[in-house]
Amino acid sequence: MLPTIILIAGAVYCLIPVAWVFVAATKSRAQLFSTFTFAPGTGLIDNLRGLFTYNGGQFGQWALNSLLYAGVGALLSTFVSTMIGYALAKYRFRGQNVIFYGILAGVLIPGITLAIPQYLLLSAVGLAGSVWSVLLPSIISPFGIYLSRVYAGSAIPQETIEAARIDAAGEWRIFQSVAIPMLLPGMVTVFLLQFVGIWNNFLLPYVMLSDQSQYPLTVGLFTLLSKGSSSPALYSLAITGAAVSIIPLVALVLFLQRFWRLDLISGGIKG
């Protein structure tokens, strides 16, 4: 009973700020600054219209940028993490443990400490300030590699790989036709974690980018908030933008959860 109460309390603690953002997005500027209640306001349509017409539709450009960074970055990171995790789990080679422990050390390093070194490296090769300066650092995910390695070690029987080798299948064919279908639930998990991480990332694009047309939502909304001191109306737009930016993440989780369900069903059938 006590663990359930603690979990419910934790869920409420996490969801109350999200609920307030959605409620605040419905309030007009007068309602937002005059009252602090969870009662919906009457300014949602005006806030949405103002948000999507701000500065010639700049919010839409920021949203497309976030989709590009998070979508492409998560796809590339998932593929790279899956290949490395599979290799570490199913092959034996010299230096394997050193590489794996190095990856574990990478998991322990906060990403915030790498932003400045990454900027210096990418600036040295002339990529700072470009889309690649945000995409390239997101491709390698130590936690994604670690998760893929653990999942590959338990989800793919070594006997299945040996049977494919006996049938004269090459290593790439085995990975493509045998390993990937078995690793799909793990790949979905890595993709979701990477997508959410890149979508919510603020410091890396803030350090790398100087052109507002390349900003993702996190940096774009920050610029709205920073201008709010001189133009309070932008506070309502920033709050509405924060509410809108949550919707794609919720939709992605609801869409991808079917892959976990299919894995549970297939596991039950196999049992």
Residues 205 and 217: their CA atoms lie apart, in Å, by 10
Residues 171 and 239: their CA atoms lie apart, in Å, by 51
**Taking the model in full, what pTM does it have?**
0.86
* Helix ranges (DSSP H) in 91-214: 96-108, 115-124, 132-139, 142-155, 158-166, 171-174, 180-200, 203-208
CATH number of the domain at 43-270, please?
1.10.3720.10
Name the DSSP letter for residue 36: -
Residues 5 and 27: their CA atoms lie apart, in Å, by 32
The residue behind tokens 């080679």 is 93
pLDDT at residue 69 in the model: 95
pLDDT tens for the 271 residues of the chain, in order: 788 899 899 888 988 888 888 888 888 877 777 777 777 878 888 888 988 988 888 999 999 999 999 999 999 999 999 999 999 988 888 888 888 888 888 888 887 788 888 889 999 998 888 999 999 999 989 999 999 998 898 888 888 888 888 888 888 898 988 899 888 888 998 999 999 999 999 989 999 998 888 999 999 999 888 876 667 778 888 889 999 999 999 899 888 877 765 443 444 334 3
The separation between the first and the last C-alpha atoms of the chain, rounded to the nearest angstrom, is 31
Give tens-digit pLDDT for 240-259: 999 999 999 989 988 887 77
pLDDT at residue 261 in the model: 52
pLDDT at residue 260 in the model: 64
- For 82, the enclosing helix (H) or strand (E) is helix 58-90
